Structure 1
Amino acid sequence: MKAIQFHEAGGPGVLRYEEVPVPEIGPGEVLVRVRAAGINPPDWYLREGMKVMPAEMRPELEFPVIPGTDMSGVVEAVAPDVSRFAVGDEVFGMLRFPGFDGRTYAEYVAAPASDLAHKPAGLDHVRAAAAPMSVLTAWQYLIDLGHDVPSPFTGRVHRPVPITPGMSVLVNGAAGGVGHFAVQLAKWKGARVVAVASGRHEQFLRKLGADEVIDYTTTRAADVVRDVDLVIDAVGGREGARLLAVLKPGGTMLPVFFAEFDEEETARSGITVSNIQVRSSGRQLAEISPLFEDGRLHVGVDSVFPLSDAAGAHERAARGHIQGKIVLTVGG
């Protein structure tokens, strides 16, 4: 089969389109013919050698590496102990995360059945492949963590804050992968949603249900917003600390990327800062699927590249200002 591999860490140019063996499946696995693979930040972090992580937390990489965690495709074979799926089923999922052995940038992948769900009939393979990591991150932050594993960044187990009608939620980085799902899930639960993004994304975010859109290129959210119940920050960096000012006393800050906050400042306001490491869950994807089916959740697709041009897709990601997700198409 064809797959994308890299033999050393580096820029997009290290990604090679090569011939590799079709994987064999083991107990609890199915073989999936991949139709599309979603691109996520961990893919380029991996390609770069995980430089974003503290040195003591970086995994040892064994080259060559096939990157990717998200995919949508068709089941080609099933291990004897798997009963939930059959040959011919259309499935989607985020494979083996947290971890770096998803190997979805390929024509075939051996997938743990527990990481898969039946693909929503209302989504084509491109949109289904775009969804898993981003929608699971938003779901595990906002709706249901689904496990009791402490965050590696805080050592604490995250407890989602119940979103009730009338609550106010600010989403920073609202047009991106996690952000555009966070907007929709908060709106589904009845919140008033303030979306922070570039002004060119306003129409997109309004269609997703945002009540207010702040163009960060002209206005700082911390200058114009106050008394928000919950912030989900999908951007990180120094702006994250500034967003503490928009929270009401007792509010909650949810940084998607590792961030440090002044503990004295948060304690004075009774603000809770909580963080997760998203984890694979076919069960949760199955719970989320009806929201795709009935149109309450939509998948934004920024751009689509063939598998052979994974380098071009990573170059697009590096330019930023992404609206939704970038996806690789595989096969016909």
Structure 2
Amino acid sequence: MKAVVVYEAGGAQQLVYTDVPRPTIKEGRSLVKVRGFGINHSEIFTRQGLSPSVKIPRILGIECVGTVEETTEPERLPVGRRVVSIMGEMGRAFDGSYAEYVLIPNAQIYPVDTDLPWAELAAIQETYYTAFCSLENLRISAEHSVLVHGGASGVGVAALRLLRGKYPDMRIDGITRRADMRSSFLAEGYTDIVIDRDGRLETERSYDRILELIDPAVIKDSMKHLCRFGILCSTGQLGGKWYLEQFDPIIDLAEDSYLTSFYSGNVREGRLNDLIDYIDRYRVRIRPEKIFSLSEIIDAHRYLESRTGFGKVVIVI
């Protein structure tokens, strides 16, 4: 089969499109024919050698959509069934979805009932699921104002689109480091932008809810812009920092505020189908920003890393 293998950590050129043996089915796992997957920042970090638990060579890819090709659980996962898979150490502890086929533990293969095109279904997994569950944890109502830190990221754009579908008139601001991105943010559906200047937000405004996708690098400053009784959901680590250091919850939490989080490794089959139902009910726009083929994986990584990257990038096989 065709696959993309990282033999040595480094830049995008380390993604080698090549022929490798197709995985052999094993007890407790099923073989999925990959139809598409999203590119994630965590895969870029791994490719750069910033994931110490990952051993290379490795086929990356922490998510996929596709169909069951061979199965060891025929009742739940019959051959031909549409499925998705997210996380569970795919692409990290074992070879992932940057390939035509991937062998996945049955427990992390989730049947889905949808006729969405593969490109749109690939855009949902990981990105929209992470955004959807984060918004659930934020307990958002129509009267709330929302700030998205990491507004141009795939998860940030997904959160915006999910909210706009249900709350078309809600104030939703997005944070960016570039003032020249304002027109792109407004065209996507943000109410306005807030400038991040070296980890500090250039605004006096406070918000009822903050989706924090950059922390732990900036979470203390974000807390200063949370209204009383507000909620901040710590989800992403786009700032490249894994741990929150020198944080005093008594001093650094905003007055009478709440701090929650979401980890996309917490996957539930019911929640995935709830997300798909939500997208259908509120007519959420989910088409990815860019679509590449497997052989164009280097271009896909470079686009996501570029300053022009905006929204979700997917591979369709």
Which TM-score applies when normalising by structure 2? 0.82
The amino acid of 1:296's aligned partner reads R
2:203 counterpart (215, 223, 244): 223
Quickly say closer, same or farther: Cα 1:267–1:129, change in 2 above 3 A: closer
Question: Is the partner of 1:17 in helix, strand or coil?
Answer: strand
Deviation at residue 192 of structure 1 after TM alignment: 2.9
Shift in CA distance, 99/250, structure 1 to aligned 2, threshold 3 Å: farther
2:258 equivalent in structure 1: 272
Question: 1:40, CA displacement in angstroms?
Answer: 0.4
CA gap 1:38/1:161 in 2 versus in 1, 3 angstroms: closer
Structure 2: distance between partners of 1:217 and 1:246: 12
Counterpart selection for 1:176 from 153, 171, 174 = 153
Tell me, in whole angstroms, the C-alpha distance in 2 between the residues paired with 1:26 and 1:169. Answer: 46
Structure 1 residue 237: Cα displacement? 6.8
**3-state secondary structure, aligned to 1:132:** helix
> CA separation of 1:86/1:235 partners in 2, compared to 1, >3 Å: closer, same or farther?
same
Letter of the structure 1 residue corresponding to residue 112 of structure 2: H
Separation in 2, partners of 1:300, 1:323: 12
What is the alpha-carbon root mean square deviation over aligned residues? 2.8
Q: Which runs of 5+ in 1 are unaligned?
A: 52-57, 144-159
Give aligned-pair identity as a percent.
Answer: 26
TM-score (norm 1): 0.79
Is residue 163–residue 189 contact of structure 1 (8 Å, CA) maintained in 2?
Answer: no
Q: Are the counterparts in 1 of residues 145 and 209 from structure 2 also a CA contact under 8 Å? A: yes
Which structure 2 residues correspond to residues 223-242 of structure 1 after superposition, within 5 A?
A: 223-226=203-206, 228-236=207-215, 239-242=218-221
Whether the aligned pair in 2 keeps the contact of 1:222 and 1:242 (CA below 8 Å) is no
Offset, 1:234: 1.9
1:80-117 per-residue CA deviation (whole Å, 9 max, x = no partner) reads x3422322222223142487136100001123344323
Superposed, 1:110-259 pairs within 5 Å as 110-115=103-108, 116-118=110-112, 120-121=114-115, 123-143=116-136, 160-187=137-164, 190=167, 192-196=170-174, 197=176, 198-206=181-189, 210=190, 212-214=191-193, 216=195, 222-226=202-206, 228-236=207-215, 239-255=218-234, 256-257=236-237, 258=242, 259=244
**Could you say what secondary structure the match of 2:203 adopts?**
helix
Aligned length: 299
* Counterpart residue type for residue 49 of structure 2: G
Please state whether the residue corresponding to 2:193 is helix, strand or coil: strand
1:84 counterpart residue number: 76
Conserved 8 A contact 1:72-1:126:
no
* CA offset digits 1:216-236 (Å, max 9, x no partner): 389x8552422x221012234
Q: What's the CA shift for 1:195? A: 2.3
Name the structure 2 match of 1:46: 46
1:129 Cα deviation after fit: 1.3
Are 1:69 and 1:102, in contact at CA under 8 Å, matched by a contact in 2?
no
